[in-house]
Amino acid sequence: MSFKFPKSERLKSRKTIETLFSEGKSFKKYPLRMLYVVPENADITQVAFAVPKRKFKLAVTRNRIKRQIREAYRIQKQEVLTNNGKKFALLFLYIGSDMPNYNTLEKSVKTLLKNLQDENN
């Protein structure tokens, strides 16, 4: 059981991210919204994290929130990776308006990943 988050698991494809926003399904658990799509030629599950500039003007704050979400996902990603061979493109979007604490984000990520697993079994 590896808790690594290598560069290959990061979603960087502009085309896939646009597909997530246009055609992706979503789950919401405050303060996060998770968009997902099942790409047809995916080798591994890839993930992106986003925090709106409109709500958080300082890059320091946005980066801190993304770092906390990334850490919560890294610890709990085994739930989504053991999902009968399906590979996903995921995007975690922070929808809160204030600075979260890590425990809140961890619970939200856990709930969202469980919802994803239940939906796709």
pLDDT of residue 85: 77
Query: pLDDT for 43-91, tens place per residue?
Result: 899 999 999 999 999 999 999 999 999 999 999 998 777 767 789 999 9
pTM as predicted: 0.93
SS3 content of the chain, % helix, strand, coil (to 5): 45, 20, 35
Name the phi and psi angles at 58, rounded to 5.
Answer: -85, 130
Q: Domain 9-119 is of which CATH architecture?
A: 2-Layer Sandwich (3.30)
Give the max Cα distance, the chain. Answer: 40
First-to-final CA distance of the chain: 21
Where do the structural domains in the chain lie, given as residue ranges? Answer: 9-119
